[in-house]
A = this chain, B = another copy of it.
């Protein structure tokens, strides 16, 4: 039996790398960038007017000129209209490139315009105002994005602005979700009084869908030969096997033995935690990784969040997310010498504090309350009593 920290370390030491692929930039949301993106021009590429109004020479204003002759109008996208003579101005629009002869922009709200002339209505003007200067944000050739960047809408905007129509992103692993257990029937089926419906596989598939992974699903019966032939096929067609069930002490828990027969190396079996103690993790010599989670829904969900997602992020080279901490909102006691992952609902106090309120059911088999929670709180192993106000790390779920 390993500790949670040991399990995490062993899992991260077995992160994979499935290479990279080129995709369209506008289909890259959520992917992990596998190249460096540079600015192809200065950002902004010119002295960009940021208010509608007129552009003047500040020296004119300093010399007491208050009324300017409008010698032309310049829309965004137009070539610059120069106003070179004293007292001249250009009527100019947001987004336009500031002409070289002028240096200051006065917005319409601060002007009165009539007979082709604009008169200042304010006396407080700063040189260079309402201009977003060329290269103020980035210089041509500057690195704007680096490998490992998770692609968000703002990243897509940046990529578009520098003209990258295609992006090199990390390739995702091919994942199959393997459910097991003869007591499980299909969702559409009518279970016998001693059966229940399969649900873990759909839950894990949804978690992975939220991560952009379209996982396959397969169900195996509690029968060693059938398990063996199915897993053998999976070994050929997938990079990751996510199993749920069949790995405890039960007489019909054949999976660990079958995995060994198939030349998977067991990296660990059992973690000092609740839920999820029977968790089995291993790897095949061909590189295929197996996460075999216990069959109870809360354990499967918790292990997916706590172990699979960090493995995936490391595998994709994604920038790591900062740890989140919350204050326990109720006293909790927990006896066994296991790391306890408490189901909690998070809330933000208006003092900026994050609170975690336990939403506990009837032990790890209960998933009826799981839908009401949004994180697991990882309580330390070396304590049995946890007081309201104490702060511990929480693992927020990927909800979509």
A contact set with B: CB distance below 8 Å = 25-26, 29-30, 43-46, 48, 50-53, 73, 75-80, 91, 93-97, 107-109, 132-133, 136-138, 144-145, 149-150, 152-158, 160-165, 181-184, 187-188, 190-200, 202-207, 209-210, 222, 248-253, 295-297, 301, 322-327, 347-355, 361-371, 373, 391, 397-400
A94/B248 contact (C-beta < 8 A), A163-B197, A183-B76, A187-B160 known: yes
In Å, the complex CA distance between A300 and B353 comes to 30
Closest 4 CB pairs between A and B? A77-B183, A76-B183, A137-B368, A160-B199
In Å, the complex CA distance between A304 and B91 comes to 31
In Å, the complex CA distance between A222 and B254 comes to 69
Write the chain B residue with the least CB distance to A48: B365
**A194–B96 CB distance below 8 A:** yes
What's the least CB distance linking A80 to chain B, in Å?
A: 7
Interface residue from B25, B52, B157, B353 paired with A354 (Cβ < 8 Å): B353
In Å, the complex CA distance between A85 and B112 comes to 103
Interface residue from B107, B188, B347 paired with A249 (Cβ < 8 Å): B107
**A348–B368 CB distance below 8 A:** no
Q: Which residues on B sit within 8 Å (CB–CB) of A323?
A: 348, 350
**B301–A325 CB distance below 8 A:** no
**B207–A391 CB distance below 8 A:** no
Q: Could you list 19 examples of A-B contacts with CB < 8 Å? A: A44-B196, A50-B363, A76-B182, A94-B295, A107-B249, A144-B368, A152-B400, A153-B203, A154-B370, A154-B397, A157-B297, A158-B370, A160-B198, A160-B202, A324-B348, A325-B349, A325-B350, A351-B391, A353-B353
Q: Which residues on B sit within 8 Å (CB–CB) of A194?
A: 46, 76-80, 96-97
Interface residue from B52, B107, B183 paired with A95 (Cβ < 8 Å): B183
Q: Which residues on B sit within 8 Å (CB–CB) of A77?
A: 181-184, 192, 194-195
**B136–A362 CB distance below 8 A:** yes
**A161–B367 CB distance below 8 A:** yes
